[in-house]
Structure 1
Amino acid sequence: MKALIGLVVCAVALLSGCCTAGPAALSITTILQEPYTMTQGSELEGYCIDLLAEIAKKLGFKYNVHLVKDGKFGRQDESGNWLGMIGEVVRGEADLAVAALTLTATRELSVEMSTPFMQTGVGFILSRDLGSEESHFVSFLFPFSTEMWVGVLVAFLVTGLCIYLVSRISPCEWADPETDEYSFTLLHSFWYITGALTLQGAGPHPKGLSGRIISAIWWVFAVVLLACYFSNFNSMLRSDTKHVSVMNFDELARQDVIDYGTVEGGSTYNFFKNSNNPTYRHIFQHMERKKSCVASVEEGNRRAQEGNYAFIGEAASLDLAVARYCNLIRSSEVIAMRGYSIAAPLGFPMMKNITVAILQLSESEELAYLQNKWWANSCMPEGGQAPQALQAHLLRGLFMLLALGCGLGLLIALLELASKARDQAKDQKKSCCSVLWAELSQRFRSGRANAGSETSDKSKA
């Protein structure tokens, strides 16, 4: 009886153990590559480690991560056997390969590939010393932003108009509008403030207090504006920011001064090897002839930093190198757009759920957050940030000073005319308003008449 009870207890214990035991933890293979997978003491961290944690949280599975034994991403040897992470997945040594694995047709035939979690392409990096500044036809406009140039233009037009109006209104500019020659036409007003912008006087100058106030404020405005322009322009000329002298793959293939290569046996290498494009075929033949390929991304980055070498690779990895090493720059051209995916054995039951989880992370902007987190730019040019175009709001005080000067000048001109009109009204025993209006009308009518007479004199001559 006791033996029977013991057997029952053992059976119950075995059954309960089977019921409580969860599914086996998945075996994950990855490869050391900054910033996808990196070592932090005895732990692993990086973009792919965070991505794996988010997917596991959504799907509710446990996992163990190990580094690939041969340190390769995944390529076939001469016998057709897979090496690297793809080889471990094919042989059943790993359930998933989570790394910057490029989705290719060859890999898709041997393993299951998820929807891409990152889009990238092929570009190249080289030393900043090999770069040259790219000239631009309107580079002299770059020190000021578009809003700043619009503000300067508006200030120019308003000030010229104010000087014209003040010189018309102020009695100090002419004693008798009907007989005195009037030289401050609208054209001369704009010519006068243009001379101030070039730090050159353009006479005649305003005689009245109102015109002199506006002129003085405009000279202050012009001096400060020119100082800001030349300061920012000089900073841009001395900036360390340069553009690649070899802007695209066609120019890279046609020159023979800079050597170039990519990771041997990788997806980028195979892209150039299998391409029918003449330029890309020429690049591959050059790499084969010169034996200029490298064994890893780190070696390619190092050779690019040493100079006279362009490392061809995937744009996401190249952008990280540029963000980490200040002496590197990347080409503006990116070709052969492709994506990074997670690999699993053929028929893996969880692949559909993994794809859905990646899409959900993309839609929730979690993937964008992870990329911003691990691709943060730690490289700053010497002397701080690169100079930027001067914004209008930074000089709003200067624009307000000019507006105040123009308003004050107009007010003083009207007061001067009102004072003269009041004296004439007392002598003529008329109302001050009627005399003031008559004075204003006479000044602007005589200006038109003078302009017409000047035109007729020129035509006779």
Structure 2
Amino acid sequence: MACRSIVRFLAWIVPIFLLVGNSSAATYKVTTIIEHPFTMVSSNPTGGTTYKGYLIDILADLEKILGVDFDIDLVEDGAYGYMTEEGNWTGLLGHLVRNEADIAAAPLAVMSKRARIIDYTQPFMLAGPQILMKTPQGLTMSKFFMLLQPFSTGVWITALVGYVVVSLALYVIWRWSPFEWGNAPTGSDGDVRDSFNVHNSFLFTFSTMLWQGYPLAPRSLSGRILCSIWWTFTMFFLIAYIAALTGRFIIKDSLTPTKINTFDDLALSNLRYGGIKGGSTAYLFKSAKNPLRRRMWNQMQSNPSDMVSSTAEGVKKVRESNGNYAFIMETPMAEYQSSMEPCDLYVTGEPLTDNGYAFACTKGSGVCDQLSHALLTIKETARLHDLRQKWFGGECAVKREQKTKSPFVSPKTTFTMEDAAFAFLLLGLGIIISLIVFGLEIFLNGKGIVVPSSGKDDEIRIHDPASGM
């Protein structure tokens, strides 16, 4: 047993000592690809190209542990790599196969097909395919302004303008119509004569809008037409508000989940979806035995435009699709994209596999063995966890736990100007008609054709019981 322990210790430590012993000349060429936040170009005021990101920090730690230098360069075609019809490898994998690089540093999934031509280190991050989708409109709602949300801003503003216009029109009619209380014969009560001054006109329209009472009604035909239209409008307005607010509270406590909760849901939906050409996700569906996943692969193949060349292209396609396209990508990158402004993306679906990201090396070079030993040291200090918190904590990271679950889509519960068009049209026509009648009243009275009565029978009080009751 002691001999076995010594052998294991030497097998672990000797490669590191050999590498450190040649540190003065140990420089490895690293090929990488721009993939936020793993590798990003950093601004360099002194000129030249420098990089930053999750993988760049790991490489810096590996340099210190192993005592080596890494010469980092971007792959020309910006691809991870796949085999062409001619049997040639492209991208990062092509660089390793042709010995143009020693190490490939990227979110490169560990795959058996790739392992035939390259070596892998142990994984530095677990990853599995998930679904990235655009957050449905109306997903979030402010609790503070809950009571204002049943109507859109345009509806509230137009209703306020209507309230002011009706109140002023009522005052104008009361003040200048010869048939109104303001011009009634002196035999009427004083409180009746002042019933529709500016203050009382606004009080009348406000109280009736809330289905409360105001003792008097207008005396003139134009005033009564205006009030009748206003009462009809407020009936529509309040019914719509109560219905929309009730729907808001019901949805707030019991939201309807989106239909896409799993990959099976996506396969049976009418949505378009895709992944990165030649990537591990595409290979997963291409080689799947599950009928639904085979169906998904056939769907991707039948729509070549749904397969993209990069993560950035796929994310852009999701944002511009208005919810009609889903991008299948590995969990870490999907969570990163969903945590970035404008916070309009979410991740759904349980990961199909428990694959991992690892560094890749030229086949048989032994470099990956050395990197794996150093990665163990980094893992033991929780350094990888700290780096993940540093680079994957975007502006929307506070919502990360919610993003990993299916969001909720609320039905339309906001009353818009389009919905309220008839009510506002009716109100506008009522105001116009009442003002036309108001003009006719002045004209007819001026000509002596119609003379206002002097009795008090017109002193109608809204809440007085009917005579004889």
* TM-score, normalising length: structure 2: 0.53
| Code of the aligned partner of 1:63 | F
Contact 2:59 2:70 in 1 (8 A): no
The Cα offsets for residues 158-188 of structure 1, whole Å up to 9 and x where unpaired, read as xxxxxxxxxxxxxxxxxxxxxxxxxxxxxxx
Partner of 1:36: 38
Partner of 1:305: 319
Tell me how far 1:351 sits from its aligned partner. 2.1
Partner of 1:272: 285
How far apart, in 2, do the equivalents of 1:76 and 1:53 lie? Answer: 31
Partner of 1:346: 363
Task: Give the 3-state SS of the residue equivalent to 1:100 in structure 2.
Answer: coil
Q: 1:59 aligns with which of 45, 57, 66?
A: 66
Moved more, 288-297 or 309-318: 288-297
How far apart, in 2, do the equivalents of 1:21 and 1:113 lie? Answer: 22
Tell me how far 1:346 sits from its aligned partner. 1.5
1:21–1:265 Cα change, 3 Å: closer
Tell me how far 1:24 sits from its aligned partner. 4.2
Tell me how far 1:371 sits from its aligned partner. 0.6
Tell me how far 1:132 sits from its aligned partner. 7.1
In the comparison of the two structures, how many residue pairs are matched?
A: 266
Tell me how far 1:108 sits from its aligned partner. 0.6
How far apart, in 1, do the equivalents of 2:23 and 2:135 lie? Answer: 57
Contact 1:29 1:85 in 2 (8 A): yes
1:87–1:380 Cα change, 3 Å: closer
1:243–1:33 Cα change, 3 Å: farther
Contact 1:132 1:245 in 2 (8 A): no
| Code of the aligned partner of 2:289 | N
Task: Give the 3-state SS of the residue equivalent to 1:319 in structure 2.
Answer: helix
Map of 1:58-457 to 2, 5 A cutoff? 58-129=65-136, 244-256=258-270, 258-291=271-304, 292-306=306-320, 307=322, 308-325=324-341, 326-379=343-396
Task: Give the 3-state SS of the residue equivalent to 1:56 in structure 2.
Answer: helix
Tell me how far 1:55 sits from its aligned partner. 1.0
How far apart, in 1, do the equivalents of 2:282 and 2:396 lie? Answer: 29
Contact 2:126 2:356 in 1 (8 A): yes
Tell me how far 1:236 sits from its aligned partner. 11
How far apart, in 2, do the equivalents of 1:352 and 1:62 lie? Answer: 17
Contact 1:118 1:341 in 2 (8 A): yes
Contact 1:117 1:358 in 2 (8 A): yes
How far apart, in 2, do the equivalents of 1:21 and 1:367 lie? Answer: 24
Tell me how far 1:70 sits from its aligned partner. 1.1
Contact 2:133 2:318 in 1 (8 A): yes
How far apart, in 2, do the equivalents of 1:248 and 1:21 lie? Answer: 50
**What runs of 5+ residues in structure 1 fail to find an aligned partner?**
1-18, 134-233, 387-461
Contact 1:101 1:342 in 2 (8 A): yes
How far apart, in 2, do the equivalents of 1:278 and 1:100 lie? Answer: 28
Tell me how far 1:245 sits from its aligned partner. 2.9
Partner of 1:13: none
Name whichever structure is richer in helix by fraction.
1
How far apart, in 2, do the equivalents of 1:125 and 1:244 lie? Answer: 13
How far apart, in 2, do the equivalents of 1:130 and 1:337 lie? Answer: 32
Partner of 1:398: none
Partner of 1:193: none
Task: Give the 3-state SS of the residue equivalent to 2:133 in structure 1.
Answer: strand
| Code of the aligned partner of 1:352 | D
1:336–1:236 Cα change, 3 Å: farther
Partner of 1:27: 29
Tell me how far 1:303 sits from its aligned partner. 1.2
Contact 1:128 1:242 in 2 (8 A): no
1:343–1:69 Cα change, 3 Å: same
1:267–1:21 Cα change, 3 Å: closer
| Code of the aligned partner of 1:336 | T
1:235–1:101 Cα change, 3 Å: farther
1:103–1:237 Cα change, 3 Å: same
Task: Give the 3-state SS of the residue equivalent to 1:362 in structure 2.
Answer: helix
Partner of 2:53: 46
Tell me how far 1:380 sits from its aligned partner. 7.3
Contact 1:131 1:244 in 2 (8 A): no
1:235–1:347 Cα change, 3 Å: farther
Contact 1:120 1:314 in 2 (8 A): yes
Tell me how far 1:324 sits from its aligned partner. 0.7
1:337–1:327 Cα change, 3 Å: same
How far apart, in 1, do the equivalents of 2:64 and 2:250 lie? Answer: 49
1:129–1:21 Cα change, 3 Å: closer
